[in-house]
Structure 1
Amino acid sequence: MAKVSTNGARRIVIVCGLGASSAFVAHRVRHAAGEAGLAVVVTPCALTDLEDRVVDADVVLVATHLSAHLDEIRDAAARHGATVAILPESTMHGGDGHEVLPLIAAADSHQEHRHSQESSQ
């Protein structure tokens, strides 16, 4: 399935247990990314909605309290070519979103590396 075009913006899904915390984090990440000049589309997501949300994601950022579900989340993301990273604890407890920007950059680098390996095969 082709991913939805977002005019080059990184498509980020933030996953938490019920989706409420991820909505607050998504707002902070959007703001921080905007200040840094990064084009992003950030979607909050409850764990139960992950399969539907990950389809168009480039990056899946996971709340630390979901570490027991990390394999399940990685499997879902891998099926759709998305990269997974765990959010810093500070992000879930009042961080301003800037601490997440290196995770997005690292995920981009990982995807570029993976795509170049696939192209060379």
Structure 2
Amino acid sequence: MKNILLICGSGASSGFMAAAIRKAAKKSGIEMKVKAASESQLDDLIKDTDILLIGPHLSYMLAELEQKTLGKAIKVAVIPQSIYGALNGPKAVEMIQKMEGED
């Protein structure tokens, strides 16, 4: 099972997105753990993460966050605003599945 960590500024909006992803994954029969957190919690949670998703409003931090995951088998991506803003769980699950296929 993949561990997905979704981060945003305070952890609030990512909580809604994480819930939408969990719901869509369950409906599709896909097993994944999705946790939402604030960016400040990243160092504590990174060790249990397979995929790190970043809220679009934190896209300016992408390079810094990629540095934090260097040497770890963690894939990092910014969730597009079109998915995040609409809380589109199915599209986010699709994005995660594509990321899992990139090895």
What one-letter code is carried by the residue in structure 1 that aligns with 2:59?
S
1:22-62 deviation line (CA, Å, top 9, x unaligned): 11111000000111111010010111111111111110111
1:89 aligns with 81
1:28 aligns with 20
C-alpha RMSD over aligned residues: 1.3
What's the TM-score, normalizing by structure 2? 0.91
Bigger-Rg structure (1/2): 1
How far apart in 2 are the matches of 1:78 and 1:32? 30
Shift in alpha-carbon separation, 1:109–1:87, aligned structure 2, 3 A = same
Structure 1 consecutive aligned stretches of length 4 or more whose deviation exceeds 4 Å:
none
1:59 aligns with 51
Could you tell me which runs of 5 or more consecutive residues in structure 2 were left unpaired when the two chains were aligned: none
Could you tell me which of 57, 62, 69 is aligned with 2:61?
A: 69
Tell me which of the two structures has the higher relative contact order, counting C-alpha pairs closer than 8 angstroms and 6 or more residues apart: 2
How far apart in 2 are the matches of 1:75 and 1:107? 18
Q: CA deviation at 1:12?
A: 0.1
What's the TM-score, normalizing by structure 1? 0.78
